[in-house]
Amino acid sequence: MGEASEVVERISGRASTPARTPLGQGFRTPRSHLVAENAIRVVAFAAILAIVLIFAIIAREALPLFFDAEAQEELGGLDALLFARAWPGYPEARHIWQPVGDVPKFDVVPLLAGTVKVTLLAMLIATPVAFLSAIYVSQYAGKRVRELLKPAIELLASVPSVVLGFFSLVVLASAVQALFGTTYRLNAFVAAIGLSLAIVPLVFTIAEDALRSVPRELVNGALALGARKHQVILRVVLPAAMPGLAAATVLGLGRALGETMIVLMASGNAAVVELFDPTSSARTITATLASELGEVSPGDAHWRVLFLLGTVLFLFTFVLNRAGAVIIERLGKRLRAEAT
């Protein structure tokens, strides 16, 4: 009878059901997990604090240029930095970076032009090579070839930049001059080739991971519908991996902007404004900071201008990374919207 009455109560809904405990309630987080979580939080905030302090210290040394009348007089006016103003006694002096002499000339336009030229040339060389290598390794190469080729390319990232700069100075410069008959042995093109050797491993690694992360169901479905291999890559794999490819490009661009030793050793270091001539010498902001900052007196106009260049480079890199993050996020949203 007891069993029968229990069955009737369950059917009629009068049986009491045990209360369900909310998910996660009633379990205590282990102390080790809390310690690890707090440690990660501290490290993250410490990294942010370090970036803020670096920017504050650099900007603090550059700000007196805008308020110190003596420093502005030594510069010939703030407009001489960007607007090619002629210095007293030198009416033909335009776009000249000559911080030493009777009349120091501080015009950052040649430095900006050299930085843009070398960076864009390096990206034009490195990006196609890295992307094509990533496509081959991820889509065409067999297992043995992949296991051999991928570590070999990634191993290039461990080569010190000073070694790549020395290689560019001794080998690439002579080879480029012999092949193309350039007037200057050291020029922006030689520096861009050497710089691309440092960029290719970074862009290749991220791009190859992005291409391999594309779901195989998409690839197999396209192949089952009769698409050829190159059609699958162009119309399925590359669009699906576009956020990762964009991230690789942005990180490679940031690497090119921040490189010092290669451009210092292989670009010729002539501060000239020849933006559309890759065979002319160039002088970048990073090379200028590395070669001149240790030889100036702290607090003078030259010192302030160098820290201003460092601040500009820091801001430009920050804006570039933020723009890249926004682009990647929008590409991801668009791909998810198309998938649904």
Q: Is 90 in a helix, a strand, or coil?
A: strand
* 131 assigned to some structural domain: yes
Predicted pLDDT at 294: 83
What is the average pLDDT across 105-127? 90
* 57 assigned to some structural domain: no
Predicted pLDDT at 72: 62
Predicted pLDDT at 179: 92
Q: Which residue has the tokens 């900007």?
A: 59
pLDDT tens-digit map of 260-300: 999 999 999 888 888 888 999 999 999 999 988 888 888 78
Note the maximum CA span of the chain: 117
* 98 assigned to some structural domain: no
* 66 assigned to some structural domain: no
pLDDT tens-digit map of 144-155: 989 899 989 988
Burial (CB count <10 Å: 0-12, 13-18, 19+), residue 312: middle
Integer-rounded Cα Rg, in Å, for the chain is 29
Q: Domain residues for 193?
A: 105-339
Beta 97-98 vs 105-106: how paired, if at all?
Answer: antiparallel
Helices (H), 16-67: 31-62
* 100 assigned to some structural domain: no
| Domain harbouring 169, CATH code | 1.10.3720.10
Q: Are 309 and 285 a contacting pair, CB within 8 Å?
A: yes
Assigned token pair, 232: 């699958």
pLDDT beyond 50 at 118: yes
pLDDT tens-digit map of 69-91: 666 666 665 555 554 454 555 55
**Number of domains, the chain:** 1
